[in-house]
Amino acid sequence: MAVASRERVRRAAVKLFATKGFHGTGIRDLAQAAKLSSASLYHYMGTKEELLAEIMVDCLGRLLETAKATIDGVTDPAERLTRLVTLHVMTHARQPNETRVVDNEIGVLSPRLRRSVVQLRDSYEQLWSDAIDEGLRAGLFHTEQPGVTRIALLEMCNGVARWYSPRGALTLDDLAGHYVQLAMRVLGAPDRG
């Protein structure tokens, strides 16, 4: 029962934080959405900020581990970036609430809780930086601002969480493929066919 209630709290928090924001979500809102009393809510979550940090660490941790597995053994930087873009787009399309929380609410965390979230985010973004830097050294990519380009690509892919619908004109595979093409163009990569 405790595990089920804790998961209900987590699901409710993800949905509310994604739609109303951390500061816009009250404890009563969270208790009501989780079908618990406000008093019993703390038994399953600690503080609201700790719950937010836990959600972020879990989501980013899964993304980082999946990304590492996705590019493991891939030496071609363009292929690594292709896989990273595809993973990022698909994750944001399939888990829009979780990814919106991670992308938008990091600034509300206290420095103590923010530290572990930022470490995970930076480790994930380092995978992108490494692929871009290696692509530049190999002459595959052409940009004078690799750091800004990385941020622009991540922001472009993050937006999928706000607007993607499976009922749209493109399948998720086609959408990810199109984003890969856009990323390669932004990086000045030659058309790979």
Take residue 157 and report the two structure tokens written for it: 């892919």
Q: Is the pLDDT of residue 43 over 90?
A: no
Share of the chain above pLDDT 70, in %: 97
**Cβ distance 6 to 45 under 8 Å?**
yes
Under DSSP, the state recorded for 108 is G
Q: Which CATH number fits domain 48-186: 3.40.50.300, 1.10.3720.10, 1.10.10.10, 1.10.357.10?
A: 1.10.357.10
Confidence class for position 191, pLDDT limits 50, 70, 90: confident
Take residue 50 and report the two structure tokens written for it: 């700790």
**Cβ distance 22 to 48 under 8 Å?**
yes
Closest CA to 61 of 53, 71, 73, 50: 53
Where exactly are the structural domains of the chain? Answer: 1-46, 48-186
Under DSSP, the state recorded for 107 is G
CA 114 to chain centre: 15
Where does 1-46 sit in CATH, by number?
A: 1.10.10.60
Share of the chain above pLDDT 90, in %: 80
Take residue 118 and report the two structure tokens written for it: 């930022």
Secondary structure class of 35 (helix, strand, coil) = coil
How many Å apart are CA 91 and CA 160, to the nearest integer?
Answer: 9
For residues 49, 54, 55, 58, the Cα torsion angle rounded to the nearest 10 degrees is 160
How many Å apart are CA 46 and CA 70, to the nearest integer?
Answer: 34
Residue-wise pLDDT tens digits, 61-120:
999 999 999 999 999 999 999 999 999 999 999 999 999 999 999 999 999 999 999 999
Confidence class for position 39, pLDDT limits 50, 70, 90: confident
**Cβ distance 107 to 127 under 8 Å?**
no
Global pTM? 0.92
Confidence class for position 2, pLDDT limits 50, 70, 90: low
